[in-house]
Amino acid sequence: MNYIKGFTYGWMSGRGSFRSPEARESLRLMQERTGSTTVIFALAALQDTPHSTKVDYRGEHIVEDDELIAMLDYARSLGLKLIMKPTVNCRNGTWRAHINFFDKDVPCEPKWHEWFASYTEYQLHYARIAEQTGCEMMIVGCEMVQTERRSAEWRQLIADVRQDYAGLITYNTDKYQENNVKWWDAVDVISSSGYYPINDWDHQLDRIESVIRPYNKPFFFAEAGCPSRSGSAMIPNDWEWAGTVNPGEQADYYTAMFSACKTRPWVSGFGLWDWSAALYKEEEALNHDGYSVYGKPAEHVIREFYTSLPNDVQNNTVK
């Protein structure tokens, strides 16, 4: 596996979003302005609550198959490598990490096997598209902390995906949860969300290294980033933090993260969070306080880091 110079694109894009010329131009600008060589297409299915068993991947909330395939083909024409990431959100706003059910089936209560059946159907749908379009990797779940103890179900889901998809498979666990997944042996690549405090990267990298060493598999941060707000560098995972706009702090965060990770050859890249299919006007960038880096100082930090790496750099697993 080559080093992943990646960015997550199109999160929360609804039906028709990828059909616009602006969406294609946004993807082209992502590649040009950040030096990214990989794009992660993150899709957002919906279930009503964390205790609902039906995963809805059809409707206004998600791009249609034909527009997704067309955008994947366009990304390939730009020379980008492709990663498919079908994710799920809860309509009631609860974070997906809290999706949970009783460990023992109880009559009249929702059950794990019902949820995994629906979630597997969802994953298999996009596994077939990933295979059709030649995606190099598929991320079969993201930050689903309470589900991770269900090792047998996750192993079966991964086995089912392999029936339809021949590329690399990973699962994106949440920050601090790398040791929570006991089925890393079932995936090809280990990945997590790297939203660690700006002053804690070395400590967290030491911890992660000790966790993943026994598996002897590639590792990358499938998500990482920081809002451009004062205070966010210490709590980069908190998208609701009400700090004042501070693009400089966002740039400082990226500088510190890259500086810490480049001394660890087993860190095999990033899927930075995130690049929208619908960009704000560049002249408004310094008033924008979200994770986006478009038109902000962090954009230059990312490009400098990504373009400093050879295109064919190989990963090193932890020894």
What is the tens place of the pLDDT at every residue in 151-186? 999 999 999 999 999 999 999 999 999 999 999 999
Residue 31 is which amino acid? Q
Q: Which backbone phi and psi does 214 adopt, to 5 degrees?
A: -60, -20
Burial of 173 (0-12, 13-18, 19+ CB in 10 A): buried
What's the half-sphere exposure (Cβ side, CA atoms, 13 Å) at 41?
33
The C-alpha angle 231, 146, 14, rounded to 5 degrees, equals: 70
Distance (Å, whole) CA 134 – CA 128: 10
With the C-alpha atoms ordered 249, 255, 259, 260, is the resulting torsion angle positive or negative? positive
Query: What pLDDT is recorded for position 256?
Result: 98
Query: What pLDDT is recorded for position 315?
Result: 63
Query: What pLDDT is recorded for position 318?
Result: 74
Query: What pLDDT is recorded for position 88?
Result: 98
Helical residues (DSSP H) of 237-296, grouped into ranges: 247-261
Q: Are 24 and 17 in contact (CB under 8 A)?
A: no
Burial of 166 (0-12, 13-18, 19+ CB in 10 A): exposed
SS (H, E, C) 13-56: CCCCHHHCHHHHHHHHHHHHHHCCCEEEEEEEEEECCCCCCCCE
Beta bridge partners of 85: 42
Note the CATH number of domain 4-307.
Answer: 3.20.20.80
Query: What pLDDT is recorded for position 261?
Result: 98
Distance (Å, whole) CA 99 – CA 50: 4
Q: Are 41 and 308 in contact (CB under 8 A)?
A: no
Query: What pLDDT is recorded for position 24?
Result: 98
Q: How many CB atoms lie within 10 A of CB 60?
A: 7
Query: What pLDDT is recorded for position 314?
Result: 65
Q: Which backbone phi and psi does 274 adopt, to 5 degrees?
A: -145, 170
This model's pTM is above 0.85:
yes
Q: Which residues of the chain have pLDDT under 50?
A: none
Q: Are 232 and 249 in contact (CB under 8 A)?
A: yes
